Structure 1
Amino acid sequence: MTTFVNEQVKKLDSALSNHFEKNLIATKSLDLSTLSEKDQFLFQASQALDFSNNQLPSFESVQEYLEKYQTTYKDDSSVYAEIEWLFVAKCTIAIYGQVFSNVLNSTLPTSEAIDYWNDIHGNTLQEIYYVLQIAPSRIYYLLKNTAQNITGTSTAVQQIKSFFSSSDYVLSQLFPIHASIKPTSNYVSNKTEPFSALNFFTLSSFHNRPLILEIIRHEVALKKRSLQQLRSQQAASLGVLLLTPPQFDQGQADFAVSMADQTKGCIEMIKYVMGSPTGLKQDTDKLQQRNVHHLQRHLDSMSDLQCCSASDITAELYDVVKNWSTVYNRNLKSEQASYGIPSAMTRYWIPTVVSYFVGNWIIQYGLKRKEDIIHCVEELGNTVRDFALNWVWKPVLKVYETIRLKDQRLSILSKQGLQSDLDVSRMMLGFAKDNLHLSELELSRLSSDIREGDMSVLLKEYEKEIKNPLKNVIAGDLLQTMLIQVQKTKVDVDLAMSALDKLLKSNELNFAFLAVAPSMLLTWASVSWLKNTFQGRSQQKMKKIGLPMRETLRRIERQLIYDSKELNEWTVSGEEDRANQAECEAQGILLCEVHLLRAYARSLPLRNSTQARFMEDVRDLENTDLTSEQKIQTIARMNRFWSFL
């Protein structure tokens, strides 16, 4: 149920309720306790036909109320005639809303079929694929019709030879649409003309294309043109429904006369719409003659509407409800079956067969290499698990421990070891005291020099001792001076290592992040690739949705500009009836296109209220209170704001 139709019905119901209440106040008050059984049924049925929610009463519920009224309360008297006419008007509004909704929804398959043939027409690859799709069904119908045309068993072989030796017969059976419709005509007619392959052969030679593709191109063009005429007729029907709704707010004095007038006119309008799909087989000029102006004159010329009783009108309403699905839907389905999208079996038998063989080959290959495939999958799983554990989780855990100062293993030497190595000064002082016999003052000065790194006293003794190394090793102090120098070298190395230890500790967090960086970079790249892949598919889907939306908006804008220009010209010329008719037809076409746009909008994502905000713009396009210029500005805003358009 569309929002536009729902709002239209709510307006009619509100006008009816106000008119009913004003009429009761002006005449007499309603006493529910004094209602008869018939009036109670009528009042309860009127209350049950609720239009406040977003769903209209179904045909079945309305038919049930009308049938009960016809069988039980038709001949009973009513104290309040207004309640009876209120029930009739409520049923009329419900039927009007359902008819409006059905006609509007019936335009969707037609528009989808037009888009389907539009994609095929002019595309050689699509046309070849379409030939392959329809080949089995066409061959089946060829053999079936040939078998039906064979009359006798004795001449069956000769008849088959004569049939298949005629190219026109074979092609007319494979492409029956060309046998009943003239390929070069600008309209669809009922005149049957013999199929002539010579015309297509001439075109095929002129376009340097195979004969079969030339025939297919003409068939697709014929189907698309037929569906366009069907959609134009549906738009005209919508214009009729929009132009001639029951007007319950005219304020006539007699409530019964007002209701009889409006409900009778609404019934005649619905009957007109019921036969509209059959108009596809009429001539174009005849289709143009069945316009809103002639219908309005027919409704205005009706006489004696006051003589129509409520029982007569309910009988007509019951016939409309009962015959709507069998008349309108049957005619519509027959047209869509002839020119609409092929069946699912026809469209998908090729992918199904290819998928069967490809899937069978994949399964057989998988069974042969089952162990290798299982081993590869296990190795892949172990690799991913080890990478996540050893190169992502553990390095991240180490970074956390470093931040919390839980890991103190990054240390080259301890403070106690370094302090013991600094006692080399005692060895120097002992050597100077025992061998050089220095005074206390000199020893104090030597101690100060040693702390500053001055080893000149020891080096002088080492120079003396090295002159006679063998002798001094045994009897001298050469060995002691060498050991003291080794200890000094060890202390210098320890000091350097201590400085390096401090440097490592100060950069421990940097090393931890450096260790985890490659794995995190690889993980981020993988996640980004997956995210871009899914977002790319989403964007491709949005672009795919936006393409038909953009084309629909182009047609809406073109229609608005064209109709706005002609309406201004006709209004200046004083042709008000023609202007009203054009406005009605333009509004019907606009409803078709906007309803198609609403159907496309169902595929938009719900996040960030994308679908809801887009539907707000759609509602502006179908708002009858806005002018054509304002709707054109709405389309411009949509093109600026929505990136997928």
Structure 2
Amino acid sequence: MSFVADLVRRIDLQLDRLPLSTPLPLSPSPISSPQKSKDGSSKQISITSETLQISELQRLVKLLSTTSSSRPLLKASRVKRILEQARFSTPILDGALTNYAVELEWLLISKATVQTYGLILNTLLIQNLPLSNDIWYWDEVLGSYSYTALYSVQTSPLRLWHWSIGIYQDARQRLKTQISKTRHPSLGASSTETDQSSRPLAGRWRQFYGLVKGSVQDRSIADVRHRVMSPFALSRAEARQKRACLKKLREMSATGLGILLNESLGFDVDDEGNIITKGHQTSTSTIIHQEEWKNIMEKSIALMETVLQKVTSPDIGITDFEDTVFASVESDSESVGLASDNITPVPRTTLLSMRLQKILQVHMPDHVSSTQLLATEYGRPPRLVRYWLPGTVLLLSSSTILRILVSRKKEITTWIRELGRTTLDFWVNWVVDPVKKVISTIHHDKDSDLALMSRRSLEGDRESLERMVLDYSIDHPHSVTEDGSTRPTGQLSEAEISDIKKKVREGDLTAVLMAYERDLRSPFIGTIKGDLVRTLLIQIQKTKVDVEVAIGGIDTLLKSQELVFGFVGLTPGLLVCLGVFRWVSRLLGIHKGLAKGKQQGVMLRVLRNIDRTLTASSSSNNGMLSYKEHGLLLCEVDLLLKLAKRIMPSEINREFVEEVGDLIDIRTGVERQLRVVERIRWAFARWLN
């Protein structure tokens, strides 16, 4: 309803720019004194009555204005109720109203006409989508042999039922004809009925069976086409016929939409209050007199009424429909002119109000019901017809399924219990616990730190290595010297002890390694008399300290990436939950409508239809679209906007709506519209492919 709402809002703003006469004061002048008229009534009463009527008209005009930006269209019942509340041309004293009151009445009628106009356009567009869906259904049936075979199976009981009803009616008619032929002229109807009732029951059934058999043979001979064609070919012919009827109904609706858009309310108001009409065939404009907008409203009302009455007539063509509509509008204008010549004519505003109420109360509901009847007759089969086969299979196998469920009650109960337990454990272990760990990591909880070893392990082993090396150095002071000579004194100084501790912290065990190398020259003697075993154990302690240092580095690295590991542990559970939720959502029908990929395919197909409509347009119309082509274009554009709103982001959708506004502007010509289609195709290719 986007471009319809914009159109209604634009026309309503044009009506607000119409200059009206200077209004009367809303209260009588305090210095004025009542003056008696010829019949003795007071002029003060007249002014007060006119003031009340003008105030009421102003209030009703305000109710019909497009004050809401989101919902500019009112409901049909509300528009009708406002028209019923209005009092048009009420006789007051001498039977004349002020010019301002008369123009307020016309403004009220104009705004009600605009609202009715928008409601009719919206109704035609809304009814177009089911017709398009049914046409696509028949295209799928005709486009695939498997779908055609499925349709033949689905509709076979229906065809058998119609054939049986036809045979029964034919046999019954034959029976009545035979009775009338065998009746004796001298016998009355009562005696004939007595003879028929006196026959045995078996004889009467035998006679009826013979008539049925003869009717079947005669129908088989008469319907040679059905005998030659297979049921598969008959189904395709039926689908082709129904698709053609739906296309014709859609073209008629599109033609009515194009006529209303091009011939109704086609005017603008300039800054000086002059009305400018825009022709359909050419782009020229004509400035007309101020009073002509009333004639435009009368013509628009007659056009809307005629279109609603004639648009669902399937027995006329497009050209005949256009000629019928314009001829009816022309005759309606002549009848209005004759009515205005009467001695006591009914006010024009009253007549137009009654016609608008009739359109809202009678013609629109009748049009909707007629379109629904035709769509039901030629549209896709009902759900009962399409799904009778699986429903029958399910019904016939229901007892077997119930027996299997009863016999395996314990197993099924166990499966359900285990499924619930597994689901709960998965939720707790793979979703809840990882979330708790991530939250504790964000809060920097010390208890949640990853640790590959205890915090004091490295310090204790390093101190033990220092003591072991220091004790060995004190026991073998000669190992401290670089040349290994014996020291003159057997004790180490404080400086030497500090130097040994410093070297051990840095990982330097030169003194121990030199002694180890010296004892390794004669390993047996070094093992028995020397310190080979002791130096070997010191090196083992050194290796242990080095391993702990490496593990400490890895531990620090893991702690710095603890949040990453927490999210990695949480990801599988979230992915599984998301997949299950989407599957259950689609299974339960929470996500309505088409999938995104299919919506994009439909959008591309709609854009193709728009391109075909523009390309196939006739060039005899000064490079502009005809009524039917314009209506088809707007129907496709309306569907395109609805699909784009579902899959496009809001900022992209605004740009798309702007491009569509250029597309539906037929005043630019077909060539520019085709260039707009090309721009839409490459600019929004991401959302179309």
TM-score by length of structure 2 reads 0.68
Rounded to whole Å, the distance in 1 between the matches of 2:153 and 2:206 is 29
CA distance in 2, matches of 1:543, 1:379: 34
1:33-87 per-residue CA deviation (whole Å, 9 max, x = no partner) reads 34525444433322322233333233323333444557x9766645232233333
Q: Aligned pair 1:632/2:674, yes or no?
A: yes
Which residue in 2 is equivalent to 1:46?
Answer: 61
- Which residue pairs with 1:587 in the alignment? 630
Structure 2 partner of 1:567 = 621
1:59 aligned residue: 76
Tell me, in whole angstroms, the C-alpha distance in 1 between the residues paired with 2:379 and 2:562.
65
- CA deviation digits over 1:379-406, x for unaligned, max 9? 5654675567999987997999668999
Distance 1:363 1:612 in 2: 55
Mapped to 2, the partners of 1:344 and 1:49 lie a distance apart of 42
* Secondary structure at 1:563 match in 2: coil
SS at match of 2:257: helix
Question: Structure 1: how far apart are the matches of 2:655 and 2:217?
Answer: 56
Identify the residue that residue 314 of structure 1 maps to in structure 2. Answer: 353
* Closer/same/farther in 2, CA of residues 461 and 118 from structure 1, 3 Å limit: closer
Alpha-carbon distance in structure 1 between the residues aligned to 2:139 and 2:333: 42
Tell me if 1:112 matches 2:133: yes
Q: Which sits farther off after the overlay, 335-344 or 309-318?
A: 309-318
Do residues 225 (structure 1) and 244 (structure 2) align? yes
Q: Which moved more, 1:42-51 or 1:264-273?
A: 42-51
Matched, 1:281 2:315: yes
Partner of 1:100: 121
Aligned pair partner of 1:79 in 68, 92, 97: 97
**1:451 and 2:477 equivalent?**
no
Map 1:333-412; keep pairs closer than 5 Å. 333-350=372-389, 368-375=411-418, 377-379=420-422, 381-382=424-425, 385-386=428-429, 407-408=454-455, 411=458
Q: Which residue of 2 aligns with 1:261?
A: 295
- Paired amino acid for 2:316: Q
User: Do structure 1's residue 7 and structure 2's residue 6 form an aligned pair?
Assistant: yes
Matched, 1:618 2:679: no
Deviation sequence 1:152-204 (CA, Å, 0-9, x none): 79756654664467569889xxxxxxxxxxxxxxxxxxxxxxx96432444x4
Distance across 2 between alignment mates of 1:31 and 1:402: 85
* Structure 1 residue 631: Cα displacement: 2.9
Structure 2 CA distance, aligned partners of 1:380 and 1:533? Answer: 11
Alignment partners' CA distance in 1, 2:516 and 2:162:
119
Q: CA deviation at 1:231?
A: 0.9
Find the aligned partners of 1:460 and 1:532 in 2 and give their Cα distance.
Answer: 67
Separation (CA, whole Å) in 2 of partners of 1:552 and 1:529: 36
CA distance in 1: counterparts of 2:77 and 2:520, whole angstroms: 124
Match of 1:30 among 20, 24, 48: 24
Tell me which moved more, 46-55 or 533-542: 533-542
Give the distance between the partners of 1:400 and 1:169, measured in 2 at CA.
95
- Displacement after TM superposition at 1:534 (Å): 9.0
- State the partner residue of 2:547: 500
Shift of the 128–391 alpha-carbon distance from structure 1 to 2, 3 Å rule, reads: same
Secondary structure, aligned partner of 1:507: helix
- How far residue 544 of structure 1 moved from its aligned partner, in angstroms, is 0.6
Cα distance per residue 1:254-287 (max 9 Å; x no partner): 74xx355223322321232022234312367745
Look up the match of 1:551: 605
- Rounded to whole Å, the distance in 2 between the matches of 1:593 and 1:619 is 13
- Per-residue CA deviation, residues 542-596 of structure 1 (Å, 9 max, x unaligned), is 2211222212111211222333744347xxxxxxxxx7xx543332221122123
- Contact 1:50–1:56, Cα closer than 8 Å, also in 2: no
For the aligned residue pairs, the C-alpha RMSD in angstroms reads: 4.9
Residues 457 and 512 (structure 1 numbering): CA distance in 2 closer, same or farther, change over 3 Å? Answer: closer
SS state of the match for residue 455, structure 2? Answer: coil
In the alignment, does 2:615 pair up with 1:600? no
Report 1:510-521 matches (<5 A): 510=557
Cα deviation per residue 1:479-520 (whole Å; 9 max; x = unaligned)? 9725x4432332232233333333332333457799999997
Partners of 2:435 and 2:354 lie apart in 1 by 79
SS of residue matched to 1:121: helix
CA spacing shift, 1:47–1:287, aligned 2, 3 Å: closer
Q: Does 1:417 align with 2:483?
A: no
What is the alpha-carbon distance in structure 1 between the residues aligned to residue 510 and residue 122 of structure 2?
A: 107
Report the counterpart of residue 284 of structure 2 in structure 1. Answer: none
Query: What is the match of residue 596 of structure 2?
Result: 542
Q: Secondary structure at the match of 2:686?
A: coil
Counterparts of residues 134-153 of structure 1 (less than 5 Å): 134-142=155-163, 150=172
Report the counterpart of residue 175 of structure 1 in structure 2. Answer: none
**Equivalent residues of 1:133, 1:350 under 8 A apart:** yes
**More deviation, 136-145/219-228:** 136-145
Three-state SS of the structure 1 residue aligned to 2:264 is coil
Question: What residue ranges of structure 1 are gaps of 5+ in the alignment?
Answer: 172-194, 205-210, 432-437, 467-477, 570-578
Q: Contact conserved, 2:80 with 2:357, CA < 8 A, in 1?
A: yes
The alignment partner of 2:109 has SS state of helix
1:270 maps to which residue? 304
Q: Match of 1:505, as an amino acid?
A: G
Partner of 1:435: none
- Cα gap change, 1:590 to 1:159, in 2 (>3 Å): farther
Q: Which of 261, 265, 282 is the equivalent residue of 1:242?
A: 261
Summarize deviations over 1:406-432 as a string: whole Å, max 9, x none.
95166495233223322124444699x
Q: Residue 125 of structure 1 aligns with which residue?
A: 146
Q: 1:619 to 1:47 in 2, by over 3 A?
A: same
Letter in 2 for 1:229: K
Structure 1 residue 348, shift from structure 2 partner? 4.2
Counterpart amino acid of residue 97 in structure 2 = V
Look up the equivalent residue of 2:511 and give its one-letter code.
R
Change (3 A) 1:493 1:137: same
Asked if 2 retains the 8 angstrom alpha-carbon contact of 1:223 and 1:340, the reply is yes
Partner Cα separation in structure 2 for residue 220 and residue 284 of structure 1? 23
Contact 1:366–1:373 under 8 Å retained in 2: no
CA shift at 1:633, angstroms? 2.9
Total equivalences in the alignment? 574
Report if aligned partners of 2:662, 2:673 keep a CA contact under 8 Å in 1: yes
- Give the gaps of 5 or more residues in structure 2: 28-46, 176-196, 268-274, 277-286, 480-485, 501-508
By how many angstroms is 1:127 displaced?
2.0
Q: Is the contact made by 1:233 and 1:277 (CA closer than 8 Å) also made in structure 2?
A: yes
Take 2:517 and 2:613, find their aligned partners in 1: how far apart are those partners?
110
Kept in 2: contact 1:142–1:170 (CA 8 A): no
Preserved contact between residue 637 and residue 660 of structure 2 (Cα < 8 Å): yes
Q: 1:520 to 1:236 in 2, by over 3 A?
A: closer
What corresponds to 2:483 in structure 1?
Answer: none
Structure-2 separation of matches of 1:285 and 1:460 = 117
CA–CA distance in structure 1, aligned partners of residues 510 and 85 of structure 2: 124
How far is 1:214 from its partner? 0.9
How far has the Cα of 1:369 moved from its partner? 2.8
Identity across the alignment (%): 18
